């Protein structure tokens, strides 16, 4: 997951905000897309798939015989969904970049809250009282929510996933709910019921493992030179995962 806390301080943000505020377009949220993509190194902040136009993922979207494919693209949508928070429909800081898979297939109109009984905000002022169970990479401290895990699935394939950092309380519940909602942990067990969607997520988390595999070996063996060469060669600093390694928030369960 990618920390987007630099968004509002980015030099392009005020320009995007002005364009957004002055726009009469129905799709005026699109004014934010470029600056969000700059902050995430052109990746989805949630699943870290590439959103570069020449690296977009695709998956089957029909029966195998149909040859229908969906391309996973960059979307800017509401963090708090319009269906539940109409008053935030046009509020700039309620917008967030995600890939179309995380946004439309996984998140949709879900917005679970920690508070029990659930009382949803009905005004902007009441928002501060809510404890959402879906992470917001723009405002949340991701390093206080997650650790990274390299894991071998029962199939033998290895994946890079997330686990909650805490063992109880709000931050724990938030991490668990987010990981489950987006299928970012135990991805072969807690998975989407559509096989094509499930396979795309597993393949993505496997590709993240492959990207980090040699780095993880060097990390475990404390081979500093190899770590540095892997960071440079594989562009690992562009991944949200990287910050967790720096903070030693990593567990290796990939040895089978
Ligand atoms: Zn995604």
Residues with Cβ within 8 Å of 3's Cβ and at least 6 positions away in sequence, in order, are: 137, 142, 143, 240, 243
Residue 205 lies in a domain: yes
Q: Which domain holds residue 148?
A: 141-167+183-256
For the chain, give the mean pLDDT: 94
- The pLDDT of residue 28: 87
Report yes or no on whether pTM surpasses 0.85: yes
Residue 121 lies in a domain: no
Residue 87 lies in a domain: yes
Which of 75-79, 91-95, 187-191, 242-246 comes out lowest in average pLDDT?
187-191
State yes or no: pLDDT of 63 exceeds 80: no
Residue 125 lies in a domain: no
Closest CA to 236 of 228, 247, 248: 228
Ligand 1 centre distance from Cα of residue 201 (Å): 9
Q: pLDDT band for position 145 (50/70/90)? A: very high
Residue 133 lies in a domain: no
Residue 25 lies in a domain: yes
Q: Is 143 exposed, middle or buried (0-12, 13-18, 19+ CB in 10 A)?
A: middle
The span from the CA of 202 to the CA of 191, in Å, is 9
Ligand 1 centre distance from Cα of residue 222 (Å): 31
Whether residue 117 has a cis bond before it, omega within 30° of 0: yes
Question: Do 189 and 235 fall within a single domain?
Answer: yes
Q: How many domains does the chain have?
A: 2
Q: What is the DSSP letter of 43?
A: B
pLDDT in tens, 79-126: 999 999 999 999 999 999 999 999 999 999 989 999 766 789 999 999
Residue 240 lies in a domain: yes
Ligand 1 centre distance from Cα of residue 165 (Å): 21
Ligand 1 centre distance from Cα of residue 117 (Å): 30
Residue 126 lies in a domain: no
């Amino acid at each position: 997951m990618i920390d987007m806390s630099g968004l509002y301080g980015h030099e392009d943000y005020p320009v995007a905000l002005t364009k957004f505020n002055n726009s009469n377009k129905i799709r005026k949220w699109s004014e934010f897309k470029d600056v969000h993509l700059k902050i995430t190194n052109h990746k989805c902040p949630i699943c870290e798939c590439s959103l570069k136009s020449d690296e977009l993922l695709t998956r089957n979207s029909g029966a195998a015989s149909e040859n229908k494919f969906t391309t996973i693209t960059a979307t800017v949508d509401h963090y708090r969904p319009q269906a539940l928070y109409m008053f935030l429909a046009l509020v700039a800081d309620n917008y967030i970049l995600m890939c179309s898979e995380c946004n439309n297939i996984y998140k949709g109109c879900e917005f679970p809250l920690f508070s029990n009984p659930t009382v949803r905000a009905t005004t902007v002022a009441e928002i501060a009282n809510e404890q959402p169970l879906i992470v917001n990479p723009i405002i949340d401290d991701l390093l206080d929510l997650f650790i990274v895990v390299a894991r071998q699935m029962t199939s033998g394939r290895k994946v890079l996933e997330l686990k909650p950092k805490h063992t109880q309380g709000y931050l724990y519940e938030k991490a668990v709910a987010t990981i489950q909602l987006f299928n970012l942990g135990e991805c072969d067990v807690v998975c989407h019921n559509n096989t094509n969607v499930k396979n795309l997520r597993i393949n993505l988390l496997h590709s993240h493992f492959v990207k980090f595999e040699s780095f993880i070996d060097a990390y475990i063996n404390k081979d500093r030179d190899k770590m540095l060469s892997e960071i440079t060669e594989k562009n690992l600093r562009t991944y949200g995962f990287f910050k967790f390694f720096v903070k030693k928030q990593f567990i290796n369960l990939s040895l089978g």
